[in-house]
Chains A and B, each alone.
Chain A
């Protein structure tokens, strides 16, 4: 029982609060190595630059074809924004909003936009991958909250992580920006 409680507490502390496993810079977190393994082709990895007041880190889920983490908001609700990384996105029919983003080398798209309650999908397409911000706010949340979330999340270069793994462990983080791995094509 003690083990369950301790591990539950440990998991809680890792999932909520000011500091989180998804905080930038990406070379400081094990989660990003796992994300990079999830989508080996992705040249960028999403991370949290700074959480505005009222936002908390919700948790993460990473598997062999998708990596995601999500944010909770005191106004937008639980799981208000989900940030996912995949090799590609379906952007057919989405509106190109590249001009509205400050991220370099990235094309941005928007679809499934609705104001009441606010919901939208925003796609950031870059070489080898695509990051989706999935906004799903509660009924009384202001749409302007989306701007806070936009500012909270940014991108880190995968090559930085590849270099760090090589330097620290002498091992290759297989995928974009890394030399070929054992058993690779």
Chain B
């Protein structure tokens, strides 16, 4: 039997081991198909329609004449309804599009976001408004469409009519307010309906008053919605930056409804495990994924048990990209981090590191594999759940645990690996055995600096629950004095994870200084590394920030 045949045979026998495991045949939809809803399709059609209309306007003057007449006919349908009473009412409704109304709305949102210190949402909101104002103003100048002809204009206006700038300005502000201040779910849904209703009434009023064509108001509203929704979905997705008025990180990816059902079906079909219950777990310590604890039905071989899973979506990949960009600018090319290009690569990498460490005998969770929820959009990595284990910060530390921790780092050094995220939350203790979790940051053949930092961080974590002298004495059994000196010369500031730095502050003892006192003197290892890429990236980001400031200042009248 050659290697290939052997693999197939193993696959078959695996299939027998999991009777419920099932390959998805060609043509069958995935567990959670990615579908544009009816509203999404309608909206996309509208955007396409306006792109075609505007292009036609600019390129073919004859089309413009036809379109003007067509729009005029629609306008007459509405202006024919004019009566003194209705005109008064429509003038009041038109107040919604007044510059002061829009300013008050925008400043209210700004203040709300400042009070709740939701800075990301604030910048996204600001960016969406600036983008809308600039593009709406400039496109109206390029299209240069006059106000409606053939009807008396009954309200104030400014500049060309298409797209309707007040409609675009109000829409992006209202949509932005909804995404920035209102929690996802029913209340946000209600808010969207209210905004939709208000926009329809306002659009009718503006056409009635002869201040905009019907196409202008629809174009303005569609553009405002497009910018508002796209900005928040792209730069502040609810999965990663949920709007919440409770403390701590909430929500992540919603695991109820269709996604919840898809998770259960996907685990059954792809791993052959019957799911009894899915619960989010440890959300506070997790920003890069949605961690889940999943209860699995007993089988002939194993009792009822829990597995741990991490759900990854495209938004996590984007967040990782921004995180790495920030680190490259702040600290240089020291870690040689390259962003992932897709969520598939993202989850494949964690699966690889988990299997690598597991194969090497490092006590990481047993890997169960990757589960596809939506192709190229959402994947889940499933692994063993350390039931009964407690975080090292809450566990009793004896000499055995200290040795296991130091031995683990030694093993990784010998195998050319670095964990890169050694902190209390990632070290668990069960029955006197130390376990390590979250291996996403593991790097093969890392820089020596990174390995040194791993050692320092491990010694600091162990000393938090014991003392520096004891840990140092044990460390000498695994590392030379020079290696320990290198570790503490490298471990400065941001080299240690935030949680570890906070725990060290709360502890009160200056453990870092104590270790440095015991180790031979060594010149500190510089964190900052410069490269052409870092310089160019920094200049690029500074230029973008400068441009953004310039845009804010030059469009200040949109706010003040």
Residues of A within 8 A of B (CB): 3-4, 7-8, 10-11, 14, 21, 30-31, 33-34, 37, 61-65, 165, 168-174, 181-185
Contact = CB atoms under 8 A, between A and B. Distances in A.
B65 A169 contact: yes
Q: How large is the interface on B (under 10, 10 to 19, 20 to 34, 35 or more residues)?
A: 20 to 34
B68 A7 contact: no
Interface stretch (B154-162, B249-257, B393-401, B501-509): B154-162
Given A174-B153, A183-B210, 14 more contacts: A4-B135, A8-B138, A10-B142, A30-B145, A33-B149, A37-B146, A61-B158, A64-B158, A65-B156, A169-B65, A169-B68, A171-B150, A182-B79, A182-B150
Contacts of A8: 134, 138
20 contacts: A4-B134, A4-B551, A7-B134, A8-B134, A10-B141, A30-B146, A33-B149, A34-B146, A34-B159, A34-B160, A63-B157, A63-B159, A65-B156, A165-B149, A171-B72, A174-B152, A181-B151, A182-B79, A183-B82, A185-B152
B69 interface: yes
B65 A34 contact: no
A4 to B, nearest CB: 6
Given A63-B158, A171-B72, A183-B210, A34 B147 contact: yes
A173 B149 CA distance: 6
Contacts of A61: 158-159
Interface in B184-241: 210
B336 interface: no
Nearest to B158: A63
A21 B144 contact: yes
A184 B153 CA distance: 8
Contact of A14 (B76, B141, B151, B154): B141
B158 A30 contact: no
Contacts of B155: 64
B131 interface: yes
Interface of B: 65, 68-69, 72, 76, 79-80, 82, 131, 134-135, 137-139, 141-142, 144-147, 149-160, 210, 551
A42 to B, nearest CB: 15
B141 to A, nearest CB: 6
Contacts of A4: 131, 134-135, 551
B139 A7 contact: yes
Contacts of A184: 152
B155 to A, nearest CB: 8
Contacts of B158: 61-64
Contacts of A174: 149-153
A171 B138 contact: no
Contacts of B145: 30
Contact of B69 (A31, A33, A171): A171
A63 B160 contact: no
A131 B145 CA distance: 23
Nearest to B131: A4
Contacts of A34: 144, 146-147, 159-160
Given A3-B135, A14-B142, A64-B158, A172 B149 contact: yes
Given A8-B134, A21-B144, A183 B149 contact: no
B151 A182 contact: yes
A64 B157 contact: yes
Contacts of B150: 171-172, 174, 181-182
Contacts of B159: 34, 61-63
B237 to A, nearest CB: 20
B325 to A, nearest CB: 16
A32 to B, nearest CB: 9
Nearest to B209: A183
